[in-house]
Structure 1
Amino acid sequence: MNPFEKIFNYQVINRLEDSGTFMVTAHERAWLKKMLDHPASTDAFTMDTKQKLLSILEKDQAMETADLVLEKGKSVEKQVYHPLLRSLRQYILNRNGIQISYQVKGDRVNTDHNGLPYKLEYSMIKREWYLLWYHLRHQAIMSTRLNKIITVSPEPISPRTVERAFAKISETLDSRKTEVVVEVCRGYHKELSRILYAFSCFEKTVEYDEPSNTYQIRISVFADEAEYLLSKIRFLGKRVRVLEGDYLKRRMLEASTKALERYNALSAEEELPL
């Protein structure tokens, strides 16, 4: 047994998170100190936060990348960071109302709509940030790309309206969710950290059954995210199997059946060249 295996044990990490402890390696600290020198760090952090991080990392050596990293020419990429992230996050934490103007299809602009911001979401497929917010007039949940937002500003809102809106949002979102249970096959328990990382963008809980020595990952997923979850399960291959979730089980069975048929037909009808 690897004597350092417990460092990466899920239960240990989970308990540390519950106590507010976050494990950071020396390599990660060196990387963070290097990244704080980047001009974009001024937009990503408030001045107080940046100064606090620099004081914590004062004794650490910044990572030297000049001789290690060579960036090749590539097409233009969408940036992960967006200037509105910090202000929107503060509105969400403080439960502020907002007045928002945003662009819709046909280059039309909806101006000065009142709402309540609920959550920031990042699409791994489209590589874009979305704001999930509640439209107070239409009483509907909206999802707006941050790059389509023209202006957004805080707007006073009563605590009663906030509570009513959040209750409506929770009720609507819960009705759209479905649960999938994925079991980690026994021979791959040592890769649990890697498997959990593959599902890191999903809302999930992990259960360990001691008598059977099995880990089960219970994942909450929206209908439009099912295909993306399916791609993650396919990527993990024989490390996991779907226990609950009729749609995913059926799709995995279809893909496996087609693959077997393809290779059986190939071996029966053709001889591969030696």
Structure 2
Amino acid sequence: MEIFIEPKSTFYKALEDIINKSYKNSMISRKEIYDILTKYNCNFPVIENRVFARNDSYQKNIYILKPYGDKTYRLRINTKIEPYITNIEIMWLKLIMSSRYAELFLGENTIDKIKKLNIFGIPSIDINLIVPKNYSKILGREDIKILAPKFRMLLKSIIEKKIVQYTYKTRNGQIFRDIVGIPVKIQYSLKDDMFYIIFYSLEHKAFAKCIIQNIERIEIKEGSFNREQVFKEYEIYLKNAKSKQPIVIEVINTRNALEKAFCVFSSFEKSARYLKEKNRHEIRIYYYDFEEAEIISRILYLGKNVVVTQPQHIRENIISRVKKALKTYCNNYMV
């Protein structure tokens, strides 16, 4: 029945909650049933009558509950509904597991469970529709087994607000040793297929952006400094570094431009709305001043399907870069 197909009906989820709550507590009250139906917007007479078996026609009732006392019910079959996975979800899991980064975000037990799913016969999502192939060849990609420990330590440091000491090798080979800083944010560049980490340098009182795989050594720093004062200064600096105005772009949804826009700006705080009169989507991107160059690079990556409407200095920057590109590569092109 279509009414039980989860993607098409919230009634399935409501019944699942009613059954599982009844199983967990050995009973369920009439009020709890009404609350669940209300939660999923199923609190109308036709549904209520079917749940409580009030219809005169036997076939129109759903006999999952039986009265127990004045205002309580129990399950007719004492079993719960186990979580299940749809074919659409399996398709996305197959796509996720095809990434070399799956081990960075999923535990061993989770990966084992996914591998045990019956995924044979389920079609795969064409990764070429989502992930571009024009990665930069300037820098090779580190083996995931070497990248993973550094990635997890940085993630743990961000969550637990730890100060770290690290050594970093730049793309041109310059080495910065024993730098002390606070990890702020991890970013992934779809364009370069690279993970970046943004540090707040305690020495320079400024932000630095590093490629994670180029960090040669990293450790938690427990030095003799006033942690409260350090983080107080850091929070003030972070607050002042936040841009006063978001970058506003309008996306023409052709050639999957909207999906690409959300993908490349996934690491940024943002809001979106549909502009019906223009048949476009507006995305507001909130960022720190030190991220401006990165955002401009990603906007240019999206191409002609994206228009920057605000702020003016970002518009002028992009127009200037486009004109220079046209002058360099299309001498006969009139701007």
TM-score bracket, shorter-length normalisation: 0.5 to 0.7
Following TM superposition, by how much is the alpha carbon of 1:167 offset from its aligned partner in structure 2, in angstroms? Answer: 1.0
For residues 189 and 106 of structure 1, the distance between their equivalents in structure 2, rounded to whole angstroms, comes to: 39
1:196 match: secondary structure: helix
The amino acid across from 2:112 in the alignment is L
- Which residue pairs with 1:272 in the alignment? none
- Which residue pairs with 2:132 in the alignment? none
Task: Using CA pairs under 8 Å that are at least 6 residues apart, name the structure with larger relative contact order, 1 or 2.
Answer: 1
- Of residues 106, 113, 117 in structure 2, which corresponds to 1:55? 113
Assess, with a 3 A threshold, how the Cα gap between structure 1 residues 189 and 215 changes in structure 2: closer, same or farther.
farther
Work out whether 1:44 is the aligned partner of 2:104: yes
The amino acid across from 1:136 in the alignment is L
Following TM superposition, by how much is the alpha carbon of 1:158 offset from its aligned partner in structure 2, in angstroms? Answer: 5.9
More strand by share: 1
Contact 1:34–1:63 (8 Å) recurs in 2:
no
Unaligned regions of 5+ residues in structure 1, if any?
1-6, 8-22, 70-74, 266-274
For residues 192 and 230 of structure 1, the distance between their equivalents in structure 2, rounded to whole angstroms, comes to: 12
For residues 185 and 198 of structure 2, the distance between their equivalents in structure 1, rounded to whole angstroms, comes to: 5
Assess, with a 3 A threshold, how the Cα gap between structure 1 residues 119 and 162 changes in structure 2: closer, same or farther.
farther
> Relative to structure 2, which stretch is displaced further, 247-256 or 86-95?
247-256
1:60 match: secondary structure: coil
Within 5 Å, give how 1:1-274 maps onto structure 2: 25-32=89-96, 44=104, 49-55=107-113, 58-61=116-119, 77-79=140-142, 81=144, 82-83=147-148, 84-103=150-169, 107-111=174-178, 113-124=179-190, 127-156=193-222, 160-161=228-229, 163-175=231-243, 179-185=246-252, 192-197=258-263, 199-200=265-266, 202-208=268-274, 215-220=281-286, 222-233=291-302, 235=303, 237=304, 239-250=305-316, 251-252=318-319, 255=322, 262=332
Contact 2:248–2:310 (8 Å) recurs in 1:
yes
Contact 1:33–1:63 (8 Å) recurs in 2:
no
**Larger radius of gyration, structure 1 or 2?**
2
After TM superposition, the score normalised by the length of structure 2 is 0.50
Identity within the alignment, %:
18
Assess, with a 3 A threshold, how the Cα gap between structure 1 residues 32 and 93 changes in structure 2: closer, same or farther.
same
Following TM superposition, by how much is the alpha carbon of 1:50 offset from its aligned partner in structure 2, in angstroms? Answer: 1.9
Unaligned regions of 5+ residues in structure 2, if any?
1-6, 8-85, 128-136
The amino acid across from 2:249 in the alignment is V
After TM superposition, the score normalised by the length of structure 1 is 0.59
For residues 225 and 254 of structure 1, the distance between their equivalents in structure 2, rounded to whole angstroms, comes to: 14
Following TM superposition, by how much is the alpha carbon of 1:229 offset from its aligned partner in structure 2, in angstroms? Answer: 3.4
> Relative to structure 2, which stretch is displaced further, 242-251 or 206-215?
206-215
Contact 1:134–1:142 (8 Å) recurs in 2:
yes
Following TM superposition, by how much is the alpha carbon of 1:262 offset from its aligned partner in structure 2, in angstroms? Answer: 4.5
Contact 1:178–1:223 (8 Å) recurs in 2:
no
Assess, with a 3 A threshold, how the Cα gap between structure 1 residues 169 and 60 changes in structure 2: closer, same or farther.
farther
Question: CA-to-partner distance for each residue in 1:202-238, whole Å, 9 max, x for gaps?
Answer: 54221345788753111245332254134234x2x3x
1:231 match: secondary structure: helix
For residues 205 and 229 of structure 2, the distance between their equivalents in structure 1, rounded to whole angstroms, comes to: 11
Contact 1:80–1:127 (8 Å) recurs in 2:
no
The amino acid across from 2:197 in the alignment is L
Following TM superposition, by how much is the alpha carbon of 1:160 offset from its aligned partner in structure 2, in angstroms? Answer: 1.7
Question: CA-to-partner distance for each residue in 1:28-73, whole Å, 9 max, x for gaps?
Answer: 22344566xx8x86x6367xx22134325533326899xx99xxxx
1:61 match: secondary structure: coil
Cα RMSD (Å): 4.6
Following TM superposition, by how much is the alpha carbon of 1:252 offset from its aligned partner in structure 2, in angstroms? Answer: 4.1
The amino acid across from 2:220 in the alignment is P
Assess, with a 3 A threshold, how the Cα gap between structure 1 residues 136 and 62 changes in structure 2: closer, same or farther.
farther
Number of matched pairs: 225
